[in-house]
Amino acid sequence: MFRSALILVLALVATWLTLSGYFKPLLLKLGVISICFVLFLCFRMRILDRETAAYGTLPRTLSYFVWLFVEIVKANMAVVRAVLSPSMEVSPKVVKVPAPQKTDIAKSMFANSITLTPGTVSVNMESDHILVHALLSEMSDPADFAEMGVRSAWAVGEDMGDV
């Protein structure tokens, strides 16, 4: 909990400086007061844990997002082609994707990555799999999802073996 609080404070300081951009003494003092208040509020809400302070693995997350961005661009091309063609041939399909991630945060990262790539939307989260609705049937390949699952789990600090 103390580690999470420390990480959260660092992230909040960065957010405050990004938002404010002024380095006047009065505003810096007010910033310290604000961060203390936010920390107090989080303490009262009992949400000071790894999920709130998910910044601990920031370098990994950033490099994961680079990989994800390429996937997003590829998927976007396919969806645009399907949507804008006059015949609009789509083949919606619902598949169950196994989600063996242990932590909730890794599962959330996986589900959000699935939704972020157009053409696949995570519809329901069960205990060991995610129900995914795919726009084109060739997008529902389990191997792609498995790779994305391993990589997204790695991005939030959970090692699941090789890609």
Partner 1 sequence: METALGYMFLAGAFALIVSMALMLARLIGGPTLYDRLLAVNSFGTKTVLFLCVFCFIIDRPDGVDIALLYALMNFIATIAVLKFFNYRALDVNLNRVSVKGEDA
Partner 2 sequence: MHDPHVLLRVISKFLIPIIALFALYVQFHGDYGPGGGFQAGVILAASVILYALIFGLDAAKKAFPPSWVRIGMTIGVLLYGGTGVVTWLLGGEYLNYSVLAHEASHGQHYGILAVELGVLVTVTTVMIAIFYAFGSRQPETDERDW
Partner 3 sequence: MIELVLAATAPSESAVHIDWLSVFRFAGSLISLAAGLFFVLAGTIGVIRLPDFYTRLHAAGMTDTLGAELILLALMFQSGFSQMTLKLVLVAIFLLITSPTATHAVAHAAHEAGLKPLLGPYKAPEVDEGT
* Residue 103 Cα distances to 47, 62, 153, angstroms: 16, 19, 9
Q: Does 123 bind partner 3 (CB under 8 A)?
A: yes
- 5, 7, 28, 79: which one binds partner 3 (CB under 8 A): 79
Closest C-alpha to 97, from 120, 66, 74, 70: 120
Q: Does 119 bind partner 3 (CB under 8 A)?
A: yes
What do you get for the CA distance between the two ends of the chain, in Å? 31
Decide whether 7 or 90 has the Cβ nearer to partner 3: 90
Supply the minimum distance, in Å, between the C-beta of residue 49 and partner 1. 5
- 89, 127, 143, 162: which one binds partner 2 (CB under 8 A): 127
Distance CA 48, CA 84 (A): 46
Q: Does 80 bind partner 3 (CB under 8 A)?
A: yes
Q: Does 77 bind partner 2 (CB under 8 A)?
A: no
- 59, 66, 89, 126: which one binds partner 2 (CB under 8 A): 126
Residue corresponding to tokens 């009065």: 26
102 binds, among partner 1, partner 3, partner 2, none (CB under 5 to 8 A by kind): partner 1
Computed over its alpha carbons, how large is the radius of gyration of the chain?
20
